Amino acid sequence: MSKILVTGGAGFIGSAVIKLYQELGHEIFVIDNLSFGNRDFIDVDDAHFFKEDILDGEKITSIITDMKPDSIVHLAAIHFIPYCNKHPYESSNININGTINILNAAKEAKVKQVLFASTAAVYPIYDEAVSEMNDTGPMDIYGLSKLTGEHLCNEFHLESGIPTIICRFFNAFGPNETNPHLIPEIQDQVNGGKRTINLGNLTPKRDFIHTSDMATAVNTLQEKVKEGIHVFNLGRGIEYSVTDIVDAFERELGEKITIEVDQARVRKTERMHLLADVSKLKSLGWEPKIGIDEGIKTLLK
């Protein structure tokens, strides 16, 4: 059993990671200010839950040095891209200065490992699967803030020698979604009884991975990476268009869904592809288990 601190643990991905880690018998601590997360997503008692802002460096260091976790999974961030674009100062402040505070505290507390949640948004546009060897080139403030987080992790590892994992998450789907991404948007409209749904661009493709598969991947990385600093893509390695996703809803619902394009939702600039090459992660023995149909089935009422 390990003592693991999950920052942002009350969020979408954090709640899936915590569920798995509790099943595996780890002692879980959470720091989350609940700005986007939900206390009810996780079964963590008050002695293990710290409703704190990662921007409060002194408090965070004091909590983490008292807690003495073996490792930290640093997920706390602002990540919904439209929100980041509207609030560039707030989101980059949390994603950069908040990360500095977590890394400083990790150093003080002499943890044995840190895993940092980065993103596919650190990559520029590629029309084929993107590997960790591809050049980065973020296209928005969110990707830029996360790439800065990666650089901070590099500096942290060089100074402390603490094993560090940079995990570039692709598009998550599953229960406990906290932001109005594509799949929860379709889910809400369909569960609300609509069979004609309003969406934006239909052709962009994304690599959707279920949060329970993300959790097993995070666990594999934590178990297998015990030295150095390493970057891993975390996706499913399959890309789906918006219409592919609606087709999956139709199959699981057994009813026809008609799409109406809502011009107000159409983004002016859009990546047409975002697909992960996950061979590096798979070389550690990890395999995703939940397909798009199986995952969507659980989202229907």
Closest residue by Cα to residue 15 from 174, 142, 168: 174
Nearer to ligand NAD, 26 or 79 (CB): 79
Does position 172 bind ligand NAD by CB under 6 A?
A: yes
Q: Stretches 53-61, 64-72, 152-160, 267-275: which one binds ligand NAD (CB under 6 A)? A: 53-61
Number of residues that bind ligand NAD (CB under 6 A): 28
Longest distance between any two alpha carbons in the chain, whole Å: 57
153: contact with ligand NAD by CB under 6 A: no
Q: How far apart are CA 15 and CA 38, in angstroms?
A: 9
Q: Which two tokens stand for residue 6?
A: 């999950």
53 near ligand NAD (CB under 6 A): yes
- CB-count exposure of residue 87 (10 Å: 0-12, 13-18, 19+): middle
Question: Does residue 36 sit in helix, strand or coil?
Answer: coil
- Using CB under 6 A as the binding rule, whether residue 157 contacts ligand NAD is answered as no
Structure tokens at 53: 């802002």
Q: What tokens were used for 146?
A: 């996360």
Smallest Cα–Cα separation from 160: which of 94, 222, 219, 102?
102
Least Å distance, CB 226 to ligand NAD, is 23
User: How would you classify residue 110: left for phi > 0, otherwise alpha for psi between -120 and 50, otherwise beta?
Assistant: left
**Of 138 and 250, which has the nearer Cβ to ligand NAD?**
138
| Binding mask of the shown chain, residues 111 to 150, with x at each position contacting ligand NAD by CB under 6 A | ------x-x-------------------------------
> Segment 254-293, which members bind ligand NAD (CB under 6 A)?
none
Encoded amino acid at 160, one letter:
S
**Which of 55/253 has CB closer to ligand NAD?**
55
69, 98, 235, 295: which one binds ligand NAD (CB under 6 A): 98
Verify binding: residue 10, ligand NAD, rule CB under 6 A: yes
Contact status: 105 vs ligand NAD (CB under 6 A)? no
CB 189 within 8 A of CB 246: no
Q: What are the residues binding ligand NAD (CB under 6 A)?
A: 8, 10-14, 32-37, 53-55, 75-79, 94, 98, 117, 119, 169, 171-172, 178
